[in-house]
Chains A and B, each alone.
Chain A
Amino acid sequence: MALLEAQNLEKNYADGTRALRGASFSIEKGEFVAIIGPSGSGKSTLLHILGFLDHESSGVYRYDGKRADDFEDKEIAVVRNEKFGFIFQAFNLLGKMSVYENVRLPLLYSGTPEAEWDEKIRKAIRSVGLEERTDHDAAKLSGGEKQRVAIARALVNNPQVIFADEPTGNLDSASGGAVMKIIAGLHEAGHTIILITHETYTAEYADRIIKIKDGLVESDEKVLHKNTARDNFQK
């Protein structure tokens, strides 16, 4: 059974825009899938639906065999909290909070016993190499560091799937490379990764690339010359 399964997903916005026109594919547990396409192709909309941040207008989306429509609001919150981790292009950190507090955010809404929080937070921060910055204000970090904090936050609840929406979009090539290496490392550690990007080179960190054009799947192929966590990142 596929972990994520999309069947004829369509998404129409109130202003008449048809972001998705019937996208279908499935993703297995442990895969690293890049969804690429030009701006406006519907790739971000697709990620939002897959990540339970938005609803499809028609078609069927199943997570772990269960239709998205059958999840109640509270269950959706639990899935977002415990099963999914999000990395956004704009980082979306709370600037007035410290690195530690930002990484702690998902734990506030989880059932994890409070006694385990500190260890989990520090482990996540360590895994992105920011232990020196633990008590710094998030607002004072560089772009690359901010994205690493966002990755630590996505990781802290050890989610099954990590959704990364243009994670290198706001970064210089060195920082972007570092971020992609961390994401590739997460895949190697067993996480399922869904990466949205418009950069072919970034997409080549994945095992599989789904090309989206005009709201439809244009191609769905395995990557032959895969970048790895050890490769240098170049734009």
Chain B
Amino acid sequence: MSSISVLLIGIGLIAVSGLPVGLWRKGWSQILSVIIFVSGSLVGLAGTFLAFLSPEQPSISLPWALPWGQWSIAVDNLSAFFLVLVFSVPALGSIYSLGYWKQKEHPENGGRLGIFYGLLVAGMALVLIARDAALFLIVWEIMALSAYFTASVEDEKPEVRKAGLVYLVATHTGTLVLIAMFGLWASASGSTALASTASIPLETAGLIFVLAFVGFGFKAGFMPLHVWLPEAHANAPSHVSAVMSGVMLKMGIYGILRMLSLLTVSDLWWGILVLIVGSVTALLGIAFALGQQDLKKVLAYSSIENIGIILLGIGLALLGKFYHIPALVLLGLGGALFHVWNHGIFKSLLFLNSGAIIHGTHTRDMEKLGGLAKKMPWTAGLFIIGAVAISALPPLNGFAGEWLLYLGMFTTITAQATQAGPDIMLAGLTAVALAMTGALAVAAFVRLFSTIFLGAPRSDEVNHAHEGDLSMTIPMVLLASAALLLGLVPFVISPLLEAAVQAWHPEGVYIDEISSLAGQYWFPLFGGAILFLAGLGFIWYRVALHKKQNQEERLTWDCGYAKPTGRMQYTGTSFAQNLVRIFSFTLLPQKDRIRIRETFPQQERFSMKLPDLVLERWILPFFTWIAEKFKKAYALQQGQTYLYVLYIVIITILLFVVTTFGGSL
């Protein structure tokens, strides 16, 4: 059996995995669904592995009944790299749902969730292997719409409906741009097949690139196209958020990379554009994350930041392609792809974790939590692994990925690179942007972790908190182990990265190039040293200090105050206040306060929130304005079906007239 048929069997299993829970809506059928899903994922992984090993690119091309395109699929190493993510993270999410979204606790929507979860993941896998524009758009829509249905399962809540609507508008605007892009592609290259061609002139290629960048950008969610992302991620069930953020955003990245690999030409401004968008997205994404009170919105904005970091790598690779500097292509794209995996791992870990917190406390508001580490020690320990990894700190995987990106950035400033073109030195500045992003990420995740898990409880919710089931903890443990593994021995995935970069830019020679970076082989040493010495420190603390019997437990020293309470602690908002003030020129925080003026003042209050810059300040006012102007058009919309049928008939007749007599006019 060929690798591609194995792959298709896996995808098929995943696509139908929701049927048992959808049809019978019982606990046992949910377990059956999860078993089908996980086995489909394992089969898919096996198929991906076979495709990676096969010497020539496995592909199938069949005619179909549609007027355009054909049923054409193929797996190259770029697809394979993303497929691994699609077949691993959602499977863990599916196991997690057994404890998190129990069928007996959600009898009304568990079936719907199961069905569309399977379709979403199958759609993503098909997007990665589609090699025809028409097929691509079809499976892209399957993915986008299934994501809508999975994310808005709790549609009895108004905020879920609003988030779903914004998502639907954003994703279809993106699809619209993609249709234009593929139309242009088909007319320029002469066919809808997504195969590399040299016949496209540079100007057309530039237009295709911009359309692809914008169209896929709506899915990837970089600024200012991220508008749907924070609300949709916050309001979806947590394992769906994990899949959306950890995997689905990457489909946008994949789309951009795929189109770039098909266009053999490239221009200087492409790379510069991507670098600028990447830097702005990374900085603003994490700055907005700092000001959020909803713990899942913090994670959502941080996803935007990480997409920005991935874009920085793609921008470097484009510069390298333009200037013919293979090292830059390798480090840039290799770092970007490594970060695609890394973000898939630690962000889904954190989202699953947030699900456990919500499951245990029934709130998403971090200011109502605090001291949770005592009630949920496992969740706390796993969360801190995710938080350290996402802040790109050694010895975990985030650092290993950004290390490659930084090396790429610093390569641009050395003398060899500047001989190719002096402009390239500007790319070195992105290292400073990334460094600032890193420092902000530490601030954001110290704030998130500490406000939720450390200190004293801020409300009663915490006292009733409890750990989730084993089915929730095991997926998180696996993700945390992956973060540790890739941080300690990052060179294990170098062959995959090299193969994917090679598939993206066949002109260069990349095999064994990352593996030759000597620095990678020090990672196990210093990572191990950190862990070993920290372990030693804890043993010293336990043994030496406990034996002495001179350790006392007292109240926190609050400068002599005898009765400190949870409400006296620093809140997440106050923790971020200094930084929000520094960035207020772009964050534009909304403050609501009563100033104390009289001698006997009224009760004082202060609140601050950070509305989304693009959605709340540009897009919603714009649409309100449009709606105002188009009020007259309401006359056309009567809500009567026969009228709409009439419109269709009129349009059909008009089209008939135009096509019949149009030529003679």
Question: Are A and B subunits of one complex?
Answer: no
Interface on B for A, CB 8 Å cutoff? none
